[in-house]
Structure formats: C-alpha cells, structure tokens
Amino acid sequence: MANHVVVTRIFDAPVEMVWKLWTDPELVKRWWGPDRFTCPRADINFKVGASSIVCMTSKELGFGDSYSIWHYTKIIPFEEIEYIHNLADANGNKMAPTALGMPPDFPEDVRTVVLFKKIGKDKTEMTVTEYADFGQMAKFAQMGLEQCFGKMAVALNA
C-alpha cells in the first residue's frame, strides 16, 4: 500500500513565477484538477493557519463540482508550502470522502509538501509529495498530480 506520492518537474520559469501558481487564484484555476477538468473556483487564503477552497468539475465527464480545502501549516516563501488537503463542501467544511461517494480507502488529512528549488536564473524544480495511505487510489493520485503539473507548465507559458 502506497503511503506517499511524489512528482517532480523542472519548469522553464523563475521560482517567483512557479510560486505564484500556488498563490494567485487565477493561476490556480488554470491547473487545479486532472485533464478534462476545470477549476471554476479558487478562494486562496494563503497564510499559515488559514485555508483555501478549490473546486474542480468536468461537464464533459459528467462530474459535478468537487471541493477541496488546503489548510496551510507551513509557508517559507519561494522554498516550501505545506498544507493538509481534504475534501469539503462548497463552504469549506471538511467532508468524509465516503459521504461524497468516494471509495472507503480514499485518504483524509493528506499532508502535502511542495518544495521549490531554484536552478539557475530561469529554471525551477518543484516537487510535490502527498503523504497518506492511498490504497487503490495511489495510481490515480499520481496520475492526477502529473496532469496538474502539465497544466502548470501550460499556465506558465501562456
């Protein structure tokens, strides 16, 4: 059983721009969610002890609005973001995954660590590690994260 998922990518952008992908609501809307999903809402409250609410949906796949909250536990500007990720209702109240139709092994309280490493003037390595007992969801978590990274690269080049 996988207890963490890790994705690393080097972006052709300075660390300040890659960091902004997490702090600017309009940029978050461009990458949150796997391929064929959109993010119609990103209420970003980016400070330790606060929470952001993000929504993903896919009319194409017949998937309605799905909300998540990111509760920030650590922020070191341009170096590290740590937050606890949970599913939520539209008001940002944590919800049990099974209450939202997810499988019983869908994880709660996913500790997420985002690390930024400056590589030269205009390149940044970003690593996201999600810590949880993923069970059968591990391959989907990995795939979804990789797809988000692809959307991030497009957002940086737009």
pLDDT single digits (tens) 27-58 = 999 999 999 999 999 999 999 999 999 999 99
Confidence (pLDDT) at 1: 53
Check: CB of residue 8 under 8 Å from CB of residue 126.
Answer: yes
Q: CA nearest 48: which of 87, 90, 80, 95?
A: 80
Confidence (pLDDT) at 21: 98
Q: Hey, where are the domains in the chain?
A: 4-157
Confidence (pLDDT) at 136: 77
Sole residue written with tokens 């002890």: 49
Sites in the chain below the pLDDT cut of 50: none
Confidence (pLDDT) at 137: 78
Q: The CATH number of 4-157 is which of 3.30.300.30, 3.90.320.10, 3.60.15.10, 3.30.530.20? A: 3.30.530.20
pTM of this structure? 0.95
Sole residue written with tokens 């996988």: 2
Confidence (pLDDT) at 107: 92
150: burial class by Cβ within 10 Å (0-12, 13-18, 19+)?
middle
